[in-house]
């Protein structure tokens, strides 16, 4: 009698698994843009063009001039946990944005995805997948690199679609994502076009290969993203502590904001949103800024990959330092030192 009601354990099919995973990897159009642009960067692109419509809900297209995907590897690129970026045994040594092999299968499960690609010596080919069902690889026309086109995001998961905000708000989040990645990669040229309703809104962050050293390139990029005023009021930051290296620019207290809208933090080249780091940034300015003002800064912390875990969250925007105290101390003391040199000495000294 009991056995009649016994639950049956079944393996979920691939499409269902991908749709569940997509819930974690792709929260909104901006997360899809992040995944696709990171893939382009991992492929060594020097120019990346992003096109969106309807806040990214209707269309996201990312075109790059990177290494391309070999024709016979296209189906593999769409299969779950397949990646060219690590060999699986080395999760401690990650030098690329991607490594989970989840983005493309997830996007193909919740939207209509088409990948067109061509490697240096190969033929152009494309593969399409919609709601988890993929079509066979077909010949295509493309001079090189990769174009990934994602239409009707979340059409296969209407519940998720309902939770999205207005096209305007989603589009703004896409712009924000592009800005963060463009700061992280000042040598790469970025274009973002919004073609909603046949429009032509366009933001371009040009890359200038003549822009000298890393600081000059970053300074130029920050000027075009955060504005000339930020760039003119920014202190160059270059500090080190116990294997952690911090570079970037932080604005003088006189150029502060009423909200924490101009704080950009990166760990090993990856844009992160991390309470520990933003808390340290705040602490560094504590004595030179009133409570209702927020410092503006773009800071890059680099260290051996074994000193930080980027594997905390599927979207990978959180990090965990092996020694959080060192990261905090580096930010607080590095910024205070730069501020003091610029004549903004803190009234008290706080250990850190
Ligand atoms: P991951 O980035 O974690 O490896 P993805 O699902 O994002 O996983 O991509 C799967 C694979 O497809 C990548 O490892 C890479 O080999 C290939 N790929 C994806 N996008 C591109 C691109 N724009 N250019 C070249 N190869 C790409
Ligand atoms: Mg990826």
pLDDT confidence bin for 351, thresholds 50/70/90: very low
Q: Predicted confidence band at 349 (pLDDT cuts at 50, 70, 90)?
A: very low
Q: Which atom of ligand 1 is nearest to the CA of 96?
A: 2
Q: CATH second-level architecture of 14-205? A: 2-Layer Sandwich (3.30)
Structure tokens at 32: 């899809």
The rounded distance, in Å, linking the Cα atoms of 111 and 109 is 6
The three-class DSSP label of residue 199 is coil
Angle at 22 between CA 71 and CA 28, to 5 degrees: 105
Q: What pLDDT is recorded for position 255?
A: 86
pLDDT tens digits along 257-305:
888 788 999 999 999 988 999 999 999 999 999 889 999 999 999 999 8
Q: Is residue 204 within 8 Å of 290, Cβ to Cβ?
A: no
Instruction: Give me the half-sphere count of Cα atoms (radius 13 Å) on the Cβ side of residue 148.
Output: 29
Percent of the chain with pLDDT over 90: 68
Alpha helices in the chain, H assignment, sequence order: 14-25, 29-42, 74-77, 103-110, 158-162, 167-184, 214-226, 228-232, 275-284, 324-341
Which tens digit of pLDDT belongs to each residue from 144-185?
Answer: 999 999 999 999 888 889 999 999 999 999 999 999 999 999
pLDDT over 90 at 81, yes or no: no
pLDDT > 70 fraction of the chain, expressed in percent and rounded? 92
Domain extents for the chain? 14-205, 227-341
Looking at residue 305, its pLDDT comes to 86
Least Cα distance to 100 among 311, 345, 351 occurs for: 311
Q: Which atom of ligand 1 is nearest to the CA of 105?
A: 6
Confidence check: pLDDT of 352 > 50: no
Question: Which residues have CB less than 5 Å away from ligand 2 (the ion)?
Answer: 39, 98, 103
Higher pLDDT, 76 or 349: 76
Q: ipTM value of the model?
A: 0.99
Q: Please give all residues whose beta carbon lies within 6 A of any atom in ligand 1, as ranges.
A: 35, 39-40, 43, 64, 66-69, 77, 83-85, 98-104, 146
Convert the pLDDT of each residue in 226-259 to its tens digit: 999 999 999 999 999 999 999 999 999 988 788 8
DSSP H stretches of helix in 227-346: 228-232, 275-284, 324-341
Provide the pLDDT for residue 2: 60
Q: Take atom 12 of ligand 1 and give the residue whose Cα is closest.
A: 77
According to the model, what pLDDT value does residue 315 have? 66
Distance of CA 100 to the CA centre of its chain: 14
Q: Which residues contact 169 (CB under 8 A, 6 or more apart)?
A: 55
Output the CA 35–ligand 2 centroid distance in Å. 5
pLDDT tens for each residue of 83-122: 888 776 676 677 788 878 889 999 999 999 999 999 999 9
Cβ neighbours of residue 241 closer than 8 Å, sequence gap 6 or more:
326, 329, 330, 333, 334
- Rounded distance between C-alpha atoms, residue 25 and residue 337, angstroms: 39
Q: Residue holding tokens 């174009």?
A: 147
The number of the ligand nearest the C-alpha atom of 86 reads: 1
- What CATH fold (topology level) applies to the domain 227-341? Ribosomal Protein S5; domain 2 (3.30.230)
Query: What atom in ligand 1 is closest to the CA of residue 106?
Result: 6
Please compute the mean of the pLDDT values over residues 209-225 and round it to a whole number.
88
CA dihedral for 299, 305, 307, 312, sign (positive or negative): positive
């Amino acid at each position: 009698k009991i056995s009649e009601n016994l639950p049956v354990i079944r393996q979920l099919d691939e499409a269902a698994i991908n749709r569940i995973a997509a819930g974690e990897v792709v929260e909104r159009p901006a997360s899809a843009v992040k995944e696709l642009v990171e893939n382009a960067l991992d492929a060594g692109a020097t120019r990346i063009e992003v096109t969106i419509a309807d806040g990214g809900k209707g269309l996201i297209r990312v075109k790059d001039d990177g290494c391309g995907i070999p024709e016979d590897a296209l189906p593999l690129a769409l299969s779950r946990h397949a990646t060219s970026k690590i060999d699986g045994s080395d999760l401690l040594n990650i030098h690329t944005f991607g490594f989970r092999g989840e983005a493309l299968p997830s996007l193909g499960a919740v939207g209509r995805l088409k990948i067109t690609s061509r490697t240096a010596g190969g033929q152009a080919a494309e593969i399409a997948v919609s709601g988890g069902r993929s079509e066979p690889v077909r010949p295509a026309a493309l001079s090189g690199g990769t174009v990934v086109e994602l239409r009707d995001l979340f059409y296969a998961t209407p519940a998720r679609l309902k939770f999205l905000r207005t096209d305007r708000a989603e589009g703004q989040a896409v712009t924000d994502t592009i800005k963060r990645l463009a700061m992280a990669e000042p040598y790469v040229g970025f274009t973002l076009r919004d073609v909603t309703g046949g429009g032509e809104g366009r933001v371009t962050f040009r890359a200038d290969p003549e822009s000298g050293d890393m600081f000059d390139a970053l300074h130029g990029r920050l000027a075009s993203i955060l504005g000339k005023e930020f760039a003119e009021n920014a202190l160059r930051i270059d500090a080190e502590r116990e294997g952690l290296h911090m570079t970037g620019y932080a604005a003088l207290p006189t150029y502060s904001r009423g909200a924490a809208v101009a704080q950009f933090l990166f760990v090993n080249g990856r844009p992160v949103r991390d309470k520990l780091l933003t808390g340290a940034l705040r602490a560094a300015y504590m004595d030179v800024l009133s409570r209702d003002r927020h410092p503006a800064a773009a800071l890059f912390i680099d260290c051996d990959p074994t000193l930080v875990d980027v594997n905390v969250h599927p979207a990978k925007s959180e990090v965990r330092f092996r020694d959080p105290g060192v990261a905090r101390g580096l930010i607080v003391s590095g910024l205070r030192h730069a501020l003091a040199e610029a004549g903004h000495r803190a009234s008290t000294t706080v250990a850190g």
